Chain A
Amino acid sequence: MKIILNNKEEILELNEDKISVNKLLEIKKYSFPRLIVRINENLIKKENYNTTFIKDGDKVDIIHMISGG
């Protein structure tokens, strides 16, 4: 499966043709508490990370917010 992750092409070797947001976060080791996740520019709520799936060709943004200003 090929997606665009944070503006870069990313190839995922999966048994299925989709992956949940939570699973992607796990694979890519995004363990930070403050994340913004968007699929094709739609914001995904945290409570939906398990039930929202990413498909081939999707554009996914995962932005990690850190303190400082």
Chain B
Amino acid sequence: MNFQEIKFRLSKKIVGIAGCGGLGSNCAVSLARVGIGKLILADYDIIEESNLNRQYFFYDQIGKEKVFALKENILRINPNIDVQAHLVKLNSNNIIEIYKNCDIIVEAFDKAEMKEMIVETVLKNFPDKYLVCGVGLAGYGKNDLIKTERFGRLIIVGDRQNETCENNPPIAPRVCAVSNLMANVVLEILLGDENENNS
């Protein structure tokens, strides 16, 4: 498939990004570059200086809401994308409403309990939707530990062992690697589906 074809097929797709921190901002930007039709973003947080070690924001955006700053950055890269930004803390109720029309949902939270919540919510309410999660991305090095594992329509990207803590911080190279592998899985699913329809 050439890039024009890829872009055309993706232009009809809707991807939900749950959380706009390290995973969400980088994954969304990657999807924007290849021309996803619509991105639905949600986050409640404000950009802090400490976020800039991995999140797709700029120094002059400190203090802004992540979800609006990310929309701004995406549109600077690709103004043809329909970006829907929700300034909200996601929970098991609003996830259903916000992401019901998505082809795929990307879990991009920081905290384990939020990851658990969205997996449970999506599996229960949207059994037919794909959910791509980032699990295990702290620290540096250990490239070969990062994997993609499939559990039906639930796909886990990461090393599944390196949890964020004081001495194992999430920093750009590994967080961006996992985010982009997540974006890569999204493309595989979206373009794979199209291939099936055409054959």
Contact of B112 among A38, A43, A61, A65 (CB under 8 A): A65
CA distance A33 to B113 in the complex (A): 9
Contact call A68/B137, Cβ cutoff below 8 A: yes
B115 touches A7 (CB 8 A): no
Min CB distance A22 to B, Å, is: 17
Residue of A nearest to B22 (CB): A69
Interface of A is mostly: loop
Give the interface residue-count category, chain B: 35 or more
Contact of B151 among A63, A65, A69 (CB under 8 A): A63
CB neighbours of A68 from chain B (8 A): 22, 110, 134-138, 158, 162-164, 170, 175
Residues in A whose Cβ lies below 8 Å from that of B108: 69
Please report the C-alpha to C-alpha distance between residue A6 and residue B109 in the assembled complex, in whole angstroms: 23
Is B119 an interface residue, CB under 8 A from the partner? yes
Q: Cβ of B111: which chain A residues have Cβ within 8 Å of it?
A: 67, 69
In the complex, the answer to whether A36 meets B120 with C-beta atoms within 8 Å is: yes
Is A66 in contact with chain B by the CB < 8 A criterion?
yes
| B119 interface neighbour in A6, A33, A63, Cβ under 8 Å | A63
Within 8 Å of chain B (Cβ to Cβ): is A34? Answer: yes
Q: How far is the CA of A30 from the CA of B53 in the complex (A)?
A: 32
Q: Do the beta carbons of B136 and A66 come within 8 Å of each other?
A: yes
Say yes or no: is B24 at the interface (Cβ < 8 Å to chain A): yes
Of the candidates B116, B149, B175, the one whose C-beta lies within 8 Å of that of A36 is: B116
Contacts A38-B123, A41-B152: A65 and B116 contacting too (C-beta < 8 A)?
A: yes
Known: A7-B149, A7-B151, A38-B151. A69 touches B119 (CB 8 A): no
Interface residues of B (CB under 8 A from A): 19, 21-24, 108-113, 115-116, 119-120, 123-124, 127, 134-138, 149-152, 154, 156, 158, 160-164, 170, 175
Known A-B contacts: A35-B116, A36-B120. Give 6 more (CB < 8 A): A7-B149, A36-B116, A43-B123, A65-B116, A69-B109, A69-B110
Q: Chain A: residues with CB nearer than 8 A to chain B? A: 6-7, 33-36, 38, 41, 43, 61, 63-69
